[in-house]
Amino acid sequence: MSKYDIPGKEGSIAQAARAAVWAYAQVLKLYPRGFHTSFGTEMVDVFSLAAVDAARRGNGPLARLLLRELGDLPVNIILAHIHERRKRLMDWIGYDPRQDLASIRWIARALALLLAGLIFSLWLFNEDVRRAPTLPMLVLTALSVFMLAAWRWEKVGGSLTLLGSPLCLIAAMVMAGQVDQANLALAALVGLALTLVTGLVGWLFVSVARHSTVAAGPHVGREAPRRRRYLVYAAIVLVVLLLLALSLVAAPYQEIRMEGGGRPGTPMMVTVEAPAAR
Amino acid sequence: MNGQDEVLQQLPLTETTFLILLSLSSGKKHGYWIMQDVERLSEGRISLGTGTLYGALGRLLDQGWIERVDEGQESGRPRKVYALSDLGRRILEAEAERLRSLLSAARLRLAEADV
């Protein structure tokens, strides 16, 4: 008698249970290899015990168990793949908040200050932006506040920043649509850049908040990998270069003259004076 | 941020996480035992699938809230059991305290409403 045979149920139910265990073992191969190696055998054992238990109670419980697993497995397989890929990517770039939580927290805070400062300075010194519709300005101001709030409340501020980051793109497009339709492509580029950087800031804060408890664990004190430090420096240089490039691209449009008051919805004539023509 | 703040930042726990940690609070258990215990603790409301259970156990292992212990062999296969770590126990106690204070507040308010 094998481990999974069911006393008194040698007929079709026992066969169904055995077939279910075999099918279950095959489906488990869809899990990522690392997860399958770690937990595959155990999962088959647990499922077998559950199937034998259910089969002892009859057809109904066995069918319920199979239905439950059928609903449960696909979602968990997808989640395991997402988790595994994310982990592999983080390992590759050497990002592990558990190892150097403080420096990642300060990078998030520095980027948050940089972005909030950028948004506020645009609002204070750029006439076009000041003339912009209220909604996009509210979105950008709210995002700056979330980023600054994340300084103290990392999980809440970071989550709000992360969730709100795609609104930067919408805000930039709405602003361009109503203030300066000549520059929709540029607005999309600026909006996309802001979305990516605010999203990164939000994600860093959430990540730091999630791992701050684990920081008390056995990983603390190990030296951070050199590759990760270089990647962080490269990211900061990239952000600065991106901002510089955007200001250079935007330079020819500084001389835009709008006739007709430049109010939203007003027909206007746009003349662009390129720097060389000045 | 002190240790207690760091523990509090993990709260609230999901019901599944709470029940798994609660199940392990009484000692080491293997997967099937945890599954049955969770069903018992939730009075039949929560019936974990193996995918959900092992997904949660994997995450809890990654976070250092539980530990995996080798317990020799069974039918030629290594038998693994799971145990609560010190960090996991602190988080479970903090969550139980949070729920207790919520419950007492709710009882007090409902008793006032009945009067």
Are B51 and A209 an interchain contact pair (Cβ–Cβ within 8 Å)? no
pLDDT one-digit tens code per residue, A130-158: 666 677 777 778 888 888 888 888 888 88
Q: Does A46 touch chain B (CB under 8 A)?
A: yes
pLDDT one-digit tens code per residue, B55-77: 999 999 988 899 999 877 666 66
Q: Does A42 touch chain B (CB under 8 A)?
A: yes
User: Quick check: A114 pLDDT over 60?
Assistant: yes
Query: Can you give the pTM of this predicted structure?
Result: 0.57
Comparing CA positions, the residue from B74, B95, B78, B73 lying closest to residue B25 is B95
Residues of B in contact with A79 (CB under 8 A): 55
Residues of B in contact with A77 (CB under 8 A): 51
Comparing CA positions, the residue from A5, A51, A82, A37 lying closest to residue B35 is A51
Are B80 and A42 an interchain contact pair (Cβ–Cβ within 8 Å)? yes
Are A71 and B49 an interchain contact pair (Cβ–Cβ within 8 Å)? yes
pLDDT at B5: 66
Q: Is the ipTM of this complex over 0.90?
A: no
pLDDT at A214: 44
| Average pLDDT of chain A to the nearest whole number | 74
d(CA A22, CA A51): 11
Secondary element (H or E) of residue A138? helix A134-149
DSSP state letters, A62-89: HHHHHHHHHHHHHHHHHHHHHHHHHHHH
Contact B3, A216 (CB under 8 A): yes
Name the least confident of A60-64, A173-177, A269-273: A269-273
pLDDT at A103: 73
Are B35 and A73 an interchain contact pair (Cβ–Cβ within 8 Å)? no
Q: Residue A4: helix, strand or coil by DSSP?
A: coil
pLDDT at B82: 96
B76: closest CA of chain A, how far (Å) = 12
d(CA A165, CA A167): 5
Residue A104, C-beta contacts closer than 8 angstroms, at least 6 positions apart: A95, A97, A204, A207, A208
